[in-house]
Structure 1
Amino acid sequence: MSDAGLLTLPDPADAGPAARPDAEPRLQAGGPREWRVSGDWTLLALRGRYETLRQRIAQAVADDAGALWDLREVGQLDTAGALTLWQGWGQKPPARLLWLPEHVTLFAQFMQPAALPRRKPGLGPGLERAGRRVLAFARHGVDIVTLTGRLLLDALLMLRRPSLIGWREISANVYRTGAQALPITALVGFLVGLTLSYLISRQLKTYGADIFVINILGLAVLRELGPLLAAIIVAGRSGSAMTAQIGVMRVTQELDALSVMGISHTVRLVAPKVVALAISLPLVALWTSALMLLGGMAAAGAQLKLDPAQFLHTLPSVVEPVNLWLGWAKSVLFGSLIALLACHFGLRVKPNTESLGQSVTQSVVTAITLVIVVDAIFAVLFSDVGV
C-alpha cells in the first residue's frame, strides 16, 4: 500500500523539550482515510511551524474532505493548537471528527460565529432597522402598561393599608421637583413671556389692536404655554434625576435587595414619585404662567405703553376660568406621565454605566415628546372650551 498521500512531519526531536505536534494518518481498507492527530499541540511545540502545519492539514482536507480526524491521542492542546487545526480545516469542523470532551471548549470559541443564524435575504437594512425600532417601541408600551397596572393595584393596597404610603418620600419629592424648580422656571417663564408679548405687540400695533395683547397672551399662557413649558423643564430636570436615581439603585443592586426583603418597587419608589410630581407640577405650572404674564405685562408696557393696572384688571374678564382649570388638569396628567416614564426607564437600566446614560437620555426625550403629543391632543379635544 503506497504512502504517497500520508501527512508527514519533521522529526519531533527538533522541537526541544516539548513534544512536537504529530499528525500520523493511516489508511483503512475499503474506506476513507483516517487522520490521527497526536503529540502536544501547544504554543511552545508549534513554534515556527504554524504555516507549515496549516498548509499540510488544508491539503489533507482538500484530498479527502470525508476523512475521519481522530484527536483522542493529542497530549496537550491550547488555543494556538486548536486555531491551527481550525484554520487548516477551513474554519469549519470536519464531517467526521473524534475528540475529547475537554477539546470542545477550545473549539467552541471558533464555532460561535458559524452558529449564528444567517440573515434572510429580502429585507433591506432600512426596513429591518425600522422593524426593530417598532418592536422596541411596542415592548416599551407593554412594559409601561404593565407598570401602570401594577401601580394601580398597589394604590388599592395602600388605600386599604395607609401605613404603606411613603409620606416622607412624597414630601421629599415634592420639595425636589417643585420648590427647587421655582428659580429656573421663573427665569425661563419671564423671558418667554417677555419675548412672546413683544412679538405680539409689534404685530397688533400695526393694526391698532393694542388691547388684544391681553386676550392673546392670557389665553395662550394659562391654557397652553404655561403648563407645557413647566412640564418640559421638569421633564429635563426632575425626570432625568428620577431615572438616574433608580438606575444607580439597579447598578448598586439595591433594587435586588428590596426584592429580597419583599418590598415592592412600585410602593417604595414609583408611587411616591408619581404622586409627588402630580402634585408639584400644577403648582410649578401656575408659577411659570404667572411669571410669563409678568414678563408679557412688562413688554406690553414698554412697547404699547399699556398700564400694568389695566393689564391686571382686564385679564380676568377676557380669559375664562375654565382655561385655568384646563391648564391645571393637563399639568396633573403631565406630572404623572413624566414620573411614570422616568421610573419605567430607571427600572430597565442594566447593571452598567453605559446603560444608565442611555436610559436617562431616553427618559428625557420620551417624556418631552409625549408631553407635546398629549398637549396637542388636549388642544384638539377642547378646542371649543373656554375660547
Structure 2
Amino acid sequence: MSEAGALPLDNPPATWVGETTDAEPQLQSGGGAVGLTREWHVSGDWTVLALRERYEEFRQRVATAMKETPDALWDLRALGRLDTAGALTLWQGWGLKPPPRLLWLPEHVTLFSQFMQPGALPRRKRSLKPGLDLANLKLLAFAHHAVDLVALVGRLLLDGLQMLRHPSLIGWREISANVYRTGAQALPITALVGFLVGLTLSYLISKQLKTYGADIFVINILGLAVLRELGPLLAAIIVAGRSGSAMTAQIGVMRVTQELDALSVMGISHTVRLVAPKVLALAISLPLVALWTSGMMMLGGMAAASAQLKLDPMQFVHTLPSVVEPVNLWLGWAKSVLFGGLIALLACHFGLRVKPNTESLGQSVTQSVVTAITLVIVVDAIFAVLFSNVGV
C-alpha cells in the first residue's frame, strides 16, 4: 500500500516534468550517390550538452564528408535542437563557408549568419617568426598608448586654459578630496615603510663605516640619499600602488557603469571633471608625502645610528643641515611634483581606456600600477644623471 501522494510503482514516468533528454547527434549519408554527389542528413540535437567532449570528432566527420563529396546536398531539416556550439561545429567542418547545396530551416539562418560577419571568426595565421610578431604587437600597443597619452595631455592643457579663463569650472571640492585621499590617508603607511627603510639603510651603512672609523659620515650618506633620492622615490612608489590603482579603478568602474557616457551626453569634459582634479591633487600631495617619508626615514636612520654607533641624536640633527645642501631638498621636491602629476596622468589614461567589462578593468589597474612605478624609476634615473653635479 503506497503513501498518499506517492507515484504508482506499476506505471513509472519516462522522465520527470521539465526534464529534457538530449538526442544523439547524427550525421548520415543517403539519397544514393551519382558520381561523388550524395546527400548528408544532419539530425538529432547539436547542442553544447549533446556534443560535450565530442566537438572535434563531429567537426572531423563533417570536414571529411565535405572533402570527399564537395557537391553533396546537406539537409538540416531533421535537426531537433541546434545552438551556437552545434552551428559552430558544422561551420568549421564546412571550412568556414556554407556548402553549395544546403537545405535548412528559417531559424537556422540566424545562428549561421553570425559566422558570416567579417572578422567574426579570425583565422589563425602561422608565423614563421613568432618572436618578431610578438615584438611588433608590443611595439604597436606601446605606440597606441603613447598617442593616446599625448592626446590626453593636449586635452588637459586646452581644458586647463579654459579653466584659467573660467575659474568656476575648477573642481575645488574634488581637488580637496583627492588631496585628502592621496595625501593625508597615505601618511600612516608611508611613515611605517619610511622608518623601517631608514632603519635598515642606516644599520647597513653604520656597519661598514664603523670598520673604517668613519662613523660621522653616516649623516652625510644618509641625508643625501634620503632627501635627494630615496624619500621621493619611495613615496612615489607607495602612492602609485595605493592611489594610482584607486584612480584607475574609479574611472574604470565609471566606464563599466556608463557614467562616462552620461558625462559626455551632458557635455561635461572628462578632463575637466576627472583628470585635472586628480593630476593637480597628486602634484600637490606627493611632495608633502615625500617630505614626510624622508623625515621618517631620517628618524629611523637616527635611531639605528644611535644604537649602532652611539651617535647622539642631537648631534645628528645639528650636523645634517651643514653637510647636506638645501638644493638637494628642492631637487627632491621638484621630482615629487613631477612624479605626482605623472602617476595621476597614467592612472587616468588607463582608466579611460577600460572597456565595459570586469576583465578589462583588472588588466588596466595592473598596467597602470606597473607602468607608473616603472616610469617613476626611469624619470628618477634621468634626474640623477642630469643633476649629478648639483648639490653633491
TM score, norm. by length of structure 1: 0.79
State the one-letter code of the partner of 2:220.
N
Match of 2:340 in 1: 335
Deviation at 1:303, TM superposition (A): 1.2
Match of 2:144 in 1: 139
Give distance in 2, aligned partners of 1:65 and 1:349.
46
Structure 2 residue 379 is the aligned partner of structure 1 residue 374: yes
State the one-letter code of the partner of 2:101.
L
193-202 or 126-135, larger mean C-alpha shift: 126-135
Give distance in 1, aligned partners of 2:306 and 2:65.
95
Change (3 A) 1:55 1:159: closer
Instruction: State whether residues 60 and 93 of structure 2, in contact with CA within 8 Å, keep that contact through their aligned partners in structure 1.
Output: no
Match of 2:3 in 1: none
Deviation at 1:75, TM superposition (A): 8.6
Match of 1:79 in 2: 82
Structure 2 residue 222 is the aligned partner of structure 1 residue 246: no
For residues 109-141 of structure 1, give each alpha carbon's deviation from its aligned partner in whole angstroms, at most 9, with x where no partner exists.
Answer: 6778995335144222x3333322222222111
Larger radius of gyration: 1
Deviation at 1:106, TM superposition (A): 3.7
Deviation at 1:238, TM superposition (A): 0.8
For residues 262-316 of structure 1, give each alpha carbon's deviation from its aligned partner in whole angstroms, at most 9, with x where no partner exists.
Answer: 1111100000000000000000101111111111111111111111111111111
* Matching of residues 114-263 of structure 1 within 5 Å: 116-124=122-130, 126-263=131-268
Over the matched positions of the two proteins, sequence identity in percent amounts to 75
SS in 1 for 2:101: strand
Instruction: State whether residues 248 and 356 of structure 1, in contact with CA within 8 Å, keep that contact through their aligned partners in structure 2.
Output: yes
TM score, norm. by length of structure 2: 0.78
Give distance in 2, aligned partners of 1:56 and 1:360.
45
Deviation at 1:77, TM superposition (A): 8.0
92-101 or 290-299, larger mean C-alpha shift: 92-101
Instruction: State whether residues 206 and 215 of structure 2, in contact with CA within 8 Å, keep that contact through their aligned partners in structure 1.
Output: yes
Instruction: State whether residues 74 and 99 of structure 2, in contact with CA within 8 Å, keep that contact through their aligned partners in structure 1.
Output: no
* Matching of residues 33-48 of structure 1 within 5 Å: 43=45
SS in 2 for 1:383: coil
Structure 2 residue 91 is the aligned partner of structure 1 residue 91: no
Give distance in 2, aligned partners of 1:189 and 1:118.
51
Instruction: State whether residues 55 and 88 of structure 1, in contact with CA within 8 Å, keep that contact through their aligned partners in structure 2.
Output: no
State the one-letter code of the partner of 1:363.
S
Q: Which of 314, 319, 323 is equivalent to 1:309?
A: 314
Deviation at 1:63, TM superposition (A): 7.0
Query: Matched residue pairs, number?
Result: 353
Deviation at 1:105, TM superposition (A): 3.0
Q: CA RMSD in A?
A: 3.7
Give distance in 2, aligned partners of 1:363 and 1:173.
18
Match of 2:6 in 1: none
For residues 1-35 of structure 1, give each alpha carbon's deviation from its aligned partner in whole angstroms, at most 9, with x where no partner exists.
Answer: xxxxxxxxxxxxxxxxxxxx99986999xx99686
Deviation at 1:71, TM superposition (A): 6.4
Give distance in 2, aligned partners of 1:148 and 1:103.
50
Deviation at 1:107, TM superposition (A): 3.5
Instruction: State whether residues 114 and 120 of structure 2, in contact with CA within 8 Å, keep that contact through their aligned partners in structure 1.
Output: no
Change (3 A) 1:335 1:26: same
Instruction: State whether residues 241 and 369 of structure 2, in contact with CA within 8 Å, keep that contact through their aligned partners in structure 1.
Output: yes
Change (3 A) 1:79 1:221: same
Change (3 A) 1:326 1:352: same
Q: Which of 357, 360, 365 is equivalent to 2:370?
A: 365
The unaligned stretches of length 5 or more in structure 2 are 1-26, 51-58
Give distance in 2, aligned partners of 1:88 and 1:147.
44
Give distance in 2, aligned partners of 1:89 and 1:197.
67
SS in 2 for 1:280: helix
State the one-letter code of the partner of 2:162.
L
Change (3 A) 1:227 1:66: same
For residues 172-195 of structure 1, give each alpha carbon's deviation from its aligned partner in whole angstroms, at most 9, with x where no partner exists.
Answer: 110111111111111111111111
Give distance in 1, aligned partners of 2:357 and 2:252.
9
Give distance in 2, aligned partners of 1:252 and 1:295.
45
SS in 2 for 1:351: coil
Give distance in 2, aligned partners of 1:89 and 1:283.
61
State the one-letter code of the partner of 1:96.
P
Q: Which of 281, 290, 299 is equivalent to 2:286?
A: 281
Instruction: State whether residues 61 and 93 of structure 2, in contact with CA within 8 Å, keep that contact through their aligned partners in structure 1.
Output: no
State the one-letter code of the partner of 1:314.
T
The unaligned stretches of length 5 or more in structure 1 are 1-20, 48-53
Give distance in 1, aligned partners of 2:88 and 2:294.
74
Give distance in 2, aligned partners of 1:84 and 1:270.
46
Q: Which of 65, 76, 88 is equivalent to 2:70?
A: 65
Give distance in 2, aligned partners of 1:293 and 1:61.
78
State the one-letter code of the partner of 2:264.
S
